[in-house]
Structure 1
Amino acid sequence: MLRPALRLVHAGEGDPVIAQLGGLPTLPINSWPGWDGHGPLSHVLSFDCAPVAELLPELGIPHDGRLAFFYFDGAYDDYQSTVGTWDPSTSPGFRVLHLHPENSTRAHITDAATPVPPGLTPFPPIALTAIRTLTWPAHETPMAEVVWMKHGLVEEEGARPSEPVRALYDALWKLPGGGYDTHQIGGHPCPQQGPVEMEVEQLRRGLASETFAWDHPEVQSAASTWQLLLQVASDDAADMMWGDVGQLYYLVSDPERPGEALFTWQCG
């Protein structure tokens, strides 16, 4: 169940820059995403696909172009609007753009930046470098629960994993790069509440006008197919605060089509 991932940390002098947190993206003319009736989305993070695909081939994203991630954090309309998987009508409040090669691979993070829409204050730009690491599913995710049940590793009341499972997780958290509050490409998400895969499946079914039940086996099986594309933590240096020190999650059902990613967020 272990999956490799890229932890993204603030780049120091001489570090290879893999991603840009905040700042201004490079976009085609008149393509800055917005939410009708609410306002423009904020640019959260961008990265070139080629170096990420080389560092993390297991993720399976395209090798060409650049991915730009956007989110309506509420600052533009004085926090009158909230994006949430429980309300599919708010889905225009997030976007992932897969930009063509001519809009990628800038020499510096400030080159050829697209001007910010009027009234929107961009996050400060932060250069990020990558550290390859291992991740694991939270014990309450549908994927993990199937394994624990199959091998009899759930306590009798069924509310929590058994002692061997808890010992396994204690050991995993001691691995280098483990922990919450991290920017991350690929791997398993670090939830702050419940399984983010279930929340994204809730949104998918809502958009398709399909029924959703948290405890339905079909829903749980479908949720297990979602793959984390990007996790963005709250970051003081970038003036990013997602609720109460929360995190953003962009997940895909097919990594080869990152522009179809769905979104959720959590805070502890």
Structure 2
Amino acid sequence: MTSWRDRLGTLAHEWLPAEPASAWTALCRPGIRLVPGGEGPRVGRIGGAPAMPAEVAWPEWPGRGPLDFVAAVDCAALPREFSSIPLPGAGTLLFFYFDGFRRGADENALLKDVEGSRVLFVPAGVPVVERTAPEGPVPYPALDLSAEVVPTVPEQEHDLLDQTKVASGESLDEAAEMVELPGGFVGSEVFGVLAAQARGPGREHQVGGFAAPVQGAVENEIAAAVLGDYEDPGRAEEAARWVLLAQIDSDDKAGMIWGDVGMLYWVIRTDDLEAGRFDRARAPCSAADGAVRLTVQCG
């Protein structure tokens, strides 16, 4: 059976020159796709009610109201041999977000406010109860999630495409300038098209790996938010400190629509992830072509 990495390599060498194809596929990281209603063991859930300690307050956006519960991920149930990030060995990650689309909030205000989203970690063995959402949020339909390993690679605007060189001295971005795929995709767009084909069909709910960006690299977004300026000379260095924690796609069956059918991302600094600091989150945004991308920062 063709492996998740083999699929990517086959596509890359079919459409890219040999050197760029090999250099790009070498950057591949496994991502753990969260499949609604899949056949594998349950690793989490989107929607429904979260299991939380009774004494922990439901996260809220002060002055606006309680956050919506988005997803739960059981760290111990994930295929850990394919985890590209240092997740806790056990325990549950709970993801909350104030769904302005459903609840009439100004998304620009939401995405600039650190209280608009939250990640809670519940250690294994801590007593929990299924919690009912406070007045305000209407729970999303609950869908169990199973896991599937998919290949993920840097896509358009990611700094690694500029930093990774081939023997000629060209960067991957430069080497792709003359490549054209059916449909007219050229330049760094090629990497996004090939990456999407390698991942295959399915919702883009995922833990770890590289993000599947709606537009440009989410690491660049968070670095620009931290530094206050996308053109800051330290942006690339700052962006390299961040990894994808999780992403949740718009999903009709779960009643989740992020902006104009966009994607919700949580990213985290590696040192914060290793230390288990999931409690400081904020959400900068970049929007174009009608698709809103939401990136939650921890750290």
TM interval, shorter chain, is 0.7 to 0.9
CA 1:213/1:148 → structure 2, altered by over 3 Å: closer, same or farther?
A: farther
Distance, in Å, in 1 between the alignment partners of 2:126 and 2:70 is 17
Aligned 8 A contact 2:100 2:110 in 1: no
Match of 1:93 in 2: 116
Segment of structure 1 superposing worse, 22-31 or 116-125: 22-31
Match of 1:163 in 2: 178
What secondary structure does 1:174 align onto? helix
Aligned 8 A contact 2:156 2:216 in 1: no
Distance, in Å, in 1 between the alignment partners of 2:225 and 2:230 is 12
Aligned 8 A contact 1:248 1:263 in 2: no
1:3 equivalent in alignment to 2:19: no
Distance, in Å, in 2 between the alignment partners of 1:171 and 1:193 is 15
Q: Which amino acid aligns with 2:94?
A: A
Distance, in Å, in 1 between the alignment partners of 2:213 and 2:66 is 27
Q: CA deviation at 1:31?
A: 1.7
CA 1:181/1:163 → structure 2, altered by over 3 Å: closer, same or farther?
A: farther
Q: CA deviation at 1:169?
A: 5.7
Aligned 8 A contact 1:65 1:100 in 2: yes
What's the Cα RMSD here?
2.9
CA 1:9/1:233 → structure 2, altered by over 3 Å: closer, same or farther?
A: same
Structure 2 matches for 1:46-65, cutoff 5 A? 46-52=72-78, 54-65=80-91
How many residues were matched structurally? 248
Distance, in Å, in 1 between the alignment partners of 2:212 and 2:265 is 9
Deviations 1:102-144 (A, max 9, x none): 358x9xxxxx410110122011111111101110011311222
Match of 2:152 in 1: 135
Match of 1:18 in 2: 43
Match of 1:147 in 2: 164
Q: Which amino acid aligns with 2:262?
A: G
What secondary structure does 2:78 align onto? helix
- For normalisation by structure 1, the TM-score amounts to 0.80
Aligned 8 A contact 2:32 2:83 in 1: no
Distance, in Å, in 1 between the alignment partners of 2:202 and 2:158 is 16
List runs of 5+ in structure 1 lacking aligned partners.
107-111, 206-211
Distance, in Å, in 2 between the alignment partners of 1:82 and 1:102 is 39
What secondary structure does 1:69 align onto? strand
CA 1:118/1:262 → structure 2, altered by over 3 Å: closer, same or farther?
A: closer
1:124 equivalent in alignment to 2:141: yes
1:35 equivalent in alignment to 2:58: no
Distance, in Å, in 2 between the alignment partners of 1:113 and 1:94 is 20
What secondary structure does 1:5 align onto? strand
User: Paired residue for 1:219, among 235, 242, 247?
Assistant: 235
Deviations 1:142-161 (A, max 9, x none): 22222259931478xx7x94
Deviations 1:148-204 (A, max 9, x none): 59931478xx7x9423576666554432x2478511110101111222112112333
Aligned 8 A contact 2:32 2:149 in 1: yes
Q: CA deviation at 1:58?
A: 2.8
Q: Which amino acid aligns with 1:140?
A: E
- For normalisation by structure 2, the TM-score amounts to 0.73
Aligned 8 A contact 1:126 1:238 in 2: yes
Aligned 8 A contact 2:161 2:171 in 1: no
What secondary structure does 2:77 align onto? helix
Match of 1:231 in 2: 247
Deviations 1:82-116 (A, max 9, x none): 4565x3xx111011001122358x9xxxxx41011
1:78 equivalent in alignment to 2:94: no
What secondary structure does 2:220 align onto? helix
CA 1:49/1:262 → structure 2, altered by over 3 Å: closer, same or farther?
A: farther
Distance, in Å, in 2 between the alignment partners of 1:91 and 1:198 is 18
List runs of 5+ in structure 2 lacking aligned partners.
1-26, 180-186, 293-299
Match of 1:194 in 2: 216
Deviations 1:59-96 (A, max 9, x none): 111112110001111157423454565x3xx1110110
